[in-house]
Chains A and B, each alone.
Chain A
Amino acid sequence: DTAVSQTPKYLVTQMGNDKSIKCEQNLGHDTMYWYKQDSKKFLKIMFSYNNKELIINETVPNRFSPKSPDKAHLNLHINSLELGDSAVYFCASSQESPSWTSGTWDEQFFGPGTRLTVL
C-alpha cells in the first residue's frame, strides 16, 4: 500500500490556467505538508496543515491555495499559473505527537512528487 500518494504524477499546462494537485496519506498522521522543488533541486516548504488547520504558510503567493477536507488529504490548487511555477511539488506527512512504539513520530514521509510544467 502506498503511504503518501499524489495525483497526477505529471501535469503540463498553459500559463494562466488553474490546476489542482491531490495528496492522500494512509498513515493516520496528523500533519501534512507541501514542498516545492525547483529546477536546481532546491526544496522549500510551502504549507503545513495539522488536523485540517493551516499551521505553516511560507509567504507563498495567494494564487496557491491549499485545502484539507480531512486529515488524510491535502490538496493544492493553483490559480493563474505562471512559468515560474514549473517545479516538482512534494506532499509529505508526519505524526504530531510522539509515538514511541513506532519510533517514527518525527519523520516526514514524502509522496512521489508531481512534476508541473507550465508552458
Chain B
Amino acid sequence: AQSVTQLGSHVSVSEGALVLLRCNYSSSVPPYLFWYVQYPNQGLQLLLKYTSAATLVKGINGFEAEFKKSETSFHLTKPSAHMSDAAEYFCAVSKAAGNKLTFGGGTRVLVKP
C-alpha cells in the first residue's frame, strides 16, 4: 500500500521568501511522485513529477523538488514566493503509469505582501 503525508496543512510565507512544502511517502515499490497545484475553484495542474530519472526535478513556475530515497521524501521548494503562488498544493504517489494517484492531505500556501 502507498501513502503520502504532507506536513503542515497551511504554510504562510512572505512575498520573495523561500517556499518549502514537505512531503513524505511510503511505497512498497519504487514510486512515481508528483506535485499538483490547485488554484481556487479550479482543477489540479501538474507542477512536476519524478519517475526514476534525475532526483532533482524542475517544474513549472520556478518550483523544484528533490527525491531522497533514504528519507522517503519529495519536498517542494521555490526560492522566491510570488503572490500568484497562493494555492493548495498536493503531493501524490503512484506505482506506475496509468495507475491511481494516492494524494497527501494538501498544503494551503498563503503569500503575504
Contact = CB atoms under 8 A, between A and B. Distances in A.
A118 B44 CA distance: 23
A44 interface: yes
B49 A106 contact: yes
The listed residue with most A CB atoms (<10 A of its CB), out of B88, B101, B103, is B101
B101 A96 contact: no
B98 A41 contact: no
B65 to A, nearest CB: 15
A45 B43 contact: no
A43 B106 contact: yes
Contacts of B42: 112-113
B88 A41 contact: yes
Contacts of A40: 105
A113 to B, nearest CB: 5
B43 A90 contact: yes
Interface of B: 32, 34, 36, 38, 42-46, 49, 51, 88, 90, 94, 96-98, 100-103, 105-106, 108
Contacts of A108: 46, 101
B46 A107 contact: yes
A25 interface: no
B13 to A, nearest CB: 19
Given A42-B106, A106-B32, A33 B100 contact: yes
A95 B98 contact: yes
